[in-house]
Amino acid sequence: MRVPEPILTGHLFAPLHEELMALLRGLSADEWNAPTVAGAWTVRDVAAHLLDTALRRLAMHRDRYAPPASLDKGLAAFVNDINASGVAFARRLSPELLIDLHERYGRELAEFLASLDPFADAMWGVSWAGDDRSPMWFDVARELTERWHHQQQIRDAVERGLLDRYLAPVIDTFVRALPFTYRDVAADDGTAIVLRIDDAAWTLVHESSWRLYVDAIEAPTTTVTMSPDKAWRVFTRQKIDPHARIEGGARYAEPLLKMVTVI
């Protein structure tokens, strides 16, 4: 078995941005107001959230601006509050303005992320993987999953199909949450859980603690098989039937099918 390698995604932000611009420019007035799976957010709100997070990343990371913030209520509450305020502000803006702002700042974000040294230390950690501090490549890959899955929420809402070109690195990033997800699951050393998604496979093995490897071992304790389209939806909190095939000890599949890779 091999240890997972870094996921280098900086070059993917520019084409993903172009996909978003084509999508937003093609929306009708009714489609801007279509409901999405993102709670009460409409297509317009999800587009606004993507703009807000791009601006925040540029301000805090590129420009080294520290906005006023309080984590007194915890990280999740802070993120929820700041997301809600960003979307609320953007409701003052027309779709035309949202598109114009996306055009400029989405491009700047793509250029900035592509310029980063993937092996430097990031400013923060990927919390859903249990990191207090992450390497830059992981933080950038996490950003790709955010920008991809929110764009896909819009595409689903207006029936534009699956943007599957980016699914492999997105899924590869998501599965890095497995050791943290299983941190409180007791097991004997040698217990192994294989996750198969399309042609890819990963093995989570208990070796004093849980460790993730690439590829599948023979005769694991549990094997979970899902399609890529079901997997990303499960990992981003969509309440769907994962249609997962479970072989072996079913109890070891439960944390995987409840894994969360968004804040």
Among 79, 76, 105, smallest CA distance to 93 is for 105
Write down the domain spans for the chain: 10-161, 175-257
Report CA dihedral (94, 95, 96, 99) to the nearest 10 degrees.
Answer: 130
> What percent of the chain is modeled with pLDDT above 90?
92
pLDDT at 1 (0 to 100): 81
Among 54, 258, 252, 30, smallest CA distance to 151 is for 54
Fold classified for 175-257 = Nonspecific Lipid-transfer Protein; Chain A (3.30.1050)
Q: Do the beta carbons of residue 211 and residue 187 sit within 8 Å?
A: no
Does residue 263 carry a pLDDT above 90?
A: no
pLDDT at 219 (0 to 100): 96
Kindly report, residue by residue over 174-206, the tens digit of the pLDDT: 999 999 999 999 999 999 999 999 999 999 999
Q: Do the beta carbons of residue 22 and residue 151 sit within 8 Å?
A: no
What pTM value is reported for the model? 0.94
CATH of region 10-161, choose from 1.20.120.450, 3.40.109.10, 3.10.20.30, 3.40.50.12780:
1.20.120.450
Does residue 72 carry a pLDDT above 80?
A: no
In angstroms, how far apart are the furthest CA atoms of the chain? 57
